[in-house]
Amino acid sequence: MTQENWLNTLRKNRVIAVIRTSKMELARQMAKAVAAGGIRIIEITWNTHQAAELITLLRSELPTCTIGTGTLLTLEELQKALKIGCQFVFTPHTNPVMIQTAKIAGVPIIPGALSPTEIVTAWQAGASCVKIYPISAVGGANYIKSLQGPLGDIPLIPTGGVTLENAKEFINAGAIAVGLSGKLFPKKLIIAEDWEAIAQQAQVIVKQLSENKGIGSRE
């Protein structure tokens, strides 16, 4: 996927569903539920049980979705993720070797960063976007907004503190997209296996953020 295609996919969809569980089948049902609700970018964290098998399965079962992985800590993990066909990868940190490896493979890589120095370092190393994590620790949407003056050309994806209630604020503040994990999958709904309710929540967030198509663009 080219950089332009990746950024256009983010601008079109605005939200990434982040799934992390200890049971493969549970993760599969979570992915299918948010896809039914209209979310088209799904991240299966690498520490999810049987993540590689699940990603391969979901790429077949959800052909209209872009399926990737996250929480990649080492070059070895990244190479395995690329080998199975992940369509994008997230890392919680900035590793220039990992960034270049993904870039050579033509797969978008979104490393984690927090301070302006870290963000610029990740971007100059070749990152496709930069993950701002944990956003709740540094002021939420106001932090994203404050970065727009000096760093507005760098596409940012905040995670770790994004909720159904504040997701729109991050897009309004200039984020190209947001990552949603636990707040998209309330524990009580998971226990009840109420996939319809989760699909409805996904539908709500997709509708909210679809109203912000022109915001967060980096032309």
What residues are annotated to the active site? 43, 131
User: Quick check: 39 and 13 in contact, CB under 8 A?
Assistant: yes
C-alpha distances in Å from residue 86, one per residue of 69, 167, 212: 6, 25, 27
For 121-144, letters b (16+ CB in 10 Å) and e give: bbbebbbbbbbbbebeebebbebb
Spacing of C-alpha 93 from chain mean position: 14
User: Quick check: 119 and 132 in contact, CB under 8 A?
Assistant: yes
Cis amide bond preceding 134, omega within 30? yes
